[in-house]
């Protein structure tokens, strides 16, 4: 099953490599990974999406917690949560395609953020499956380039991951 694991960790050199290293060392899977400092510049927030049985996910959270740089770990998928991913997608846009892409982007609440006579770049945010659906709707033949941030997420309501 897919899990979104959120990690609060020290914003120290080498901290990210310890997390990434742990995943490869213990044969854990990484679907996507995103990391950036928080409002407190001494802390970073890392989100990793991974696949695994309950036993594997339990090991992942325990092994992450063992890292000295890691302050807190939560498996967001255990409770109500919100997840978002940002995608920028560069598309061939000539002739009729220009209108078609614009319409599809509107339906998905995307924005066209760069325009040339032959291309559109669309920005789209949402859950990962929504981004997948947009790619399906556009069709792969018109796609020049795709870049996705990977999933970020947090728990709904009052629950927070903080010191």
Partner 1 sequence: MELLSGAEMVVRALKDEGVEYIYGYPGGALLHIYDALFQQEDVKHILVRHEQAATHMADAYARATGKAGVSLVTSGPGATNAVTGIATAYMDSIPMVVITGQVMSHLIGEDAFQETDMIGVSRPVVKHSFSVQNPEDIPGIIKKAFHIAESGRPGPVVVDIPKDMTTPTERYPYEYPASVKLRSYNPVSRGHTGQIKKAMDMVLSAKRPVIYSGGGIVMGDASNELTELAQMLNVPVTNTLMGLGGYPGTDRQFVGMLGMHGSYEANMVMHHADLILAVGARFDDRVTNALDKFCPTAKIIHVDIDPAAISKTIKADVPIVGPAKSVLSEMVSIVKASKKQIDKEALDAWWQQIEEWRTRHGGRFRTDDSELMKPQQVIEMLSKVTNGDAYVCSDVGQHQMFAAQYYKFNKPNRWINSGGLGTMGFGLPAAMGVKLNFPDADVACVTGEGSIQMNIQELSTISQYDIPVKVICLNNQSLGMVRQWQDMNYESRHSQSYMKSLPDFIKLVEAYGHVGMKVDKYEDLEAAMQEAFSLKDRMVFMDIAVDPFEHVYPMQVPRGSMRDMWLTKTERT
114 near 36, Cβ under 8 Å?
no
Which of the ranges 30-38, 66-74, 94-102, 140-148 carries the binding residues for partner 1, by CB under 8 A?
A: 66-74
Told to check if 9 binds partner 1 by CB under 8 A, we report yes
| Choice between 69 and 83, CB closer to partner 1 | 69
Please name the residue that has the structure tokens 């290293």: 21
What sign for the dihedral angle of Cα 15, 17, 21, 23?
positive
Choose between 71 and 86: whose C-beta lies nearer to partner 1.
Answer: 71
User: Both tokens of residue 74?
Assistant: 């939560």
Token pair of 160 as six digits: 């927070």
Question: From residue 132, how far is each of 33, 86, 138, 163 by CA, in Å?
Answer: 17, 11, 10, 35
Least Cβ distance, residue 66 to partner 1 (angstroms) = 5
Q: Which of 39, 57, 38, 47 is nearest to 6 (CA)?
A: 47
Nearer to partner 1, 60 or 76 (CB): 60
Tell me the helix, strand and coil percentages in the chain, rounded to 5. 35, 40, 30
Q: Which of 37, 40, 51, 62 binds partner 1 (CB under 8 A)?
A: 62
The span of 5-13, 95-103, 112-120, 143-151 binding partner 1 (CB under 8 A) equals: 5-13
The reply to whether 27 sits near partner 1 by the rule CB under 8 A is no
Q: Does 162 bind partner 1 (CB under 8 A)?
A: no
What residues numbered 103-142 form the site for partner 1, per CB under 8 A? Answer: none
Where on the chain is the footprint of partner 1 (CB under 8 A)?
9-10, 13-14, 17-18, 21, 25, 55, 58-59, 62-63, 65-66, 68-71, 163
């Amino acid at each position: 099953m897919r899990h979104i694991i959120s990690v609060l960790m020290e914003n120290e050199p080498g901290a990210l490599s310890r997390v990434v290293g742990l995943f490869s060392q213990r044969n854990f899977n990484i679907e996507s990974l995103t990391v950036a400092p928080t409002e407190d510049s001494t802390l970073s927030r890392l989100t990793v999406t991974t696949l695994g049985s309950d036993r594997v996910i339990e090991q992942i959270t325990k092994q992450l917690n063992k890292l000295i740089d890691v302050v807190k770990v939560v498996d967001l998928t255990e409770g109500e949560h919100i997840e978002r991913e940002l995608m920028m997608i560069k598309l061939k846009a000539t002739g009729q395609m220009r209108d078609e892409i614009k319409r599809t982007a509107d339906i998905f609440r995307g924005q066209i953020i760069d325009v040339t006579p032959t291309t559109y770049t669309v920005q789209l945010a949402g859950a990962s499956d929504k981004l997948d659906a947009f790619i399906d709707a556009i069709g792969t033949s018109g796609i020049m380039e795709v870049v996705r941030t990977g999933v970020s997420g947090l728990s709904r309501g009052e629950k927070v991951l903080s010191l």
